[in-house]
Amino acid sequence: MSIPITDEANVVHSYATKEFFIDMLTRDIGVIDAVLELVDNSVDKIIDTFGLDVMDFLISDAPQETSISAFVDIHFTEDFFSIEDNSGGISRSQIQNEVFVFGNPQERLHQSGLSAYGIGMKRAFFKLGRHIAFRSRTASEGESALVWDVDEWKQSKNESWDLQLSEPDAVGISFTHEEAGTLIRIEKLNNSITNLFGQVPFQNELVRRLQTAYALFVRSGITFRVNGNTIGQSLPDLITSDEIPIARNLVQYQDEKSYGDSTIDVLIIAGLTPRDDRKPRGWYIFCNGRMVVESDQTVLTGWGDRLPQFRPKFNHFVGFVYFRCTDVRALPWTTTKQGVEREAPVFQYALDEMSLQARGITSFLDDAYKEDTDTTVIDQAMEKTHSISLFQVGKSNQSFEYKSPKVAGPRKTTISFQRLEEEVQRVKEAAGNSRLSNKALGEMLFDYYVEMEVG
């Protein structure tokens, strides 16, 4: 017997509360990630308006040099946070029916958007503060605006989740420019946010994150400013030469069961960083141009699983993984866009491909740092390399294969041993140079013996 659904006594309630969004989901995201979510909104709109495809720089033989004049301006103090752009603005119908709906992934028709889940912006608001003023201007409709008082909204419990549009001039914020775009200002900052926003290390870290997360967008001509300062892009360089190549592979991934007809471009570029780059690198992962994993050396990107455990000798390894798809839901990013959905088939596929491309590099580094072999040849090969930026990497697929130059002359071997430090010092003095390195001393002594005893 089935129970009729109208039987009040047997109803099992299931619904979402406002607290869930305001107080709970916000715990899953960091403050910088929340700021980046708001930047994503601006960038997403810029992509849409300007028809931007940032991965073109990495994929196409002849990338279109865009001359767009888009900007995203961030300002914050201990009292407020604001973000303003000239992205083209958001239409009234989108504001009324899409942008403020929780979990409303939009059907994207344009290339490579950044808005995937319809939760990022709202969660970012709640993470930062309690009073949100929103104003948007489009070329065709003029301005729309609203104020979202979160505490007031929360108090109305679940009676109504709706917000009200206001007169643009009544929301207390105004554009600094005449173009179509969006302006958001958040006040009544949460306590922990006020503290952070007043600290220099926070500002520096935010700038650093923007420089890497949006590196491709900076390269494409979008200007990002933080408290008036324009930021650059910062991604590690690679080294290359005739002998030391850079691995690159672009695959069009399809899996009907998982992603229907969608094709996901998976581009992998991997190689070595310059000698003077002292930072341990690892893998960088991007979805539609936006970085979601930075400098990873863990099992997430295959270290200690498909690849060997990350060790200091791999510090100069650097790999970039780019996923591009017009269907943003097919990309393996998480809702916080700080991490990947590890079990996603396309990411599993990428992991296999990453290990295939990286294995040549890790075994090269294995050889380069072996203790008992002569590494002069590799050292010399490294000397001959030059640095290039990611955007200068060739556009054809190739694997990392160290083309060892024909070793000139006979094979060499290494001798190493230990002696009392004091004694070694005395020998150096006897040799007439107390500041001689141990290596030089050893070579000198060996040559001396060869000359005197062996001939």
Instruction: Write out the residues near other proteins by the rule CB under 8 A.
Output: 249, 251, 255-258, 306, 343, 345-346, 348-349, 351-353, 355-357, 359-360, 397, 399, 401
Task: Spell out a b/e string for 86-97, using b for 16 or more CB atoms within 10 Å of the CB, else e.
Answer: bbbbbbbebbee
289: alpha, beta or left? (left if phi > 0; alpha if psi -120 to 50): left
Contacts by 187-191 with C-beta closer than 8 Å and gap 24+?
187/79, 187/80, 187/129, 187/130, 187/131, 187/133, 188/129, 188/130, 188/131, 188/150, 189/78, 189/79, 189/80, 189/81, 189/128, 189/129, 189/130, 190/127, 190/128, 190/129, 190/130
Nearer to other proteins, 31 or 247 (CB): 247
CB of 358 to other proteins, least distance (A): 10
Give the H or E element holding residue 272.
Answer: strand 264-272
Residue 182, by phi and psi: left (phi above 0), alpha (psi -120 to 50) or beta? Answer: beta
Min CB(397)–other proteins separation in Å? 6
Compute the least distance from the CB of residue 237 to other proteins, in Å.
24
Give min distance, CB of 285 to other proteins, in A.
Answer: 16
Min CB(433)–other proteins separation in Å? 42
Q: By C-beta, is 102 or 349 nearer to other proteins?
A: 349
Which CB sits closer to other proteins, 234 or 348?
A: 348
Q: What is the DSSP letter of 141?
A: T
State the minimum distance, in angstroms, from the CB of residue 250 to other proteins.
Answer: 11
Q: Which is nearer to other proteins, 197 or 322 (CB)?
A: 322
Query: What are the structure tokens assigned to 423, written together?
Result: 């004694």
The nearer residue to other proteins, 100 or 283, going by C-beta atoms, is: 283
Closer residue to other proteins (CB): 96 or 399:
399
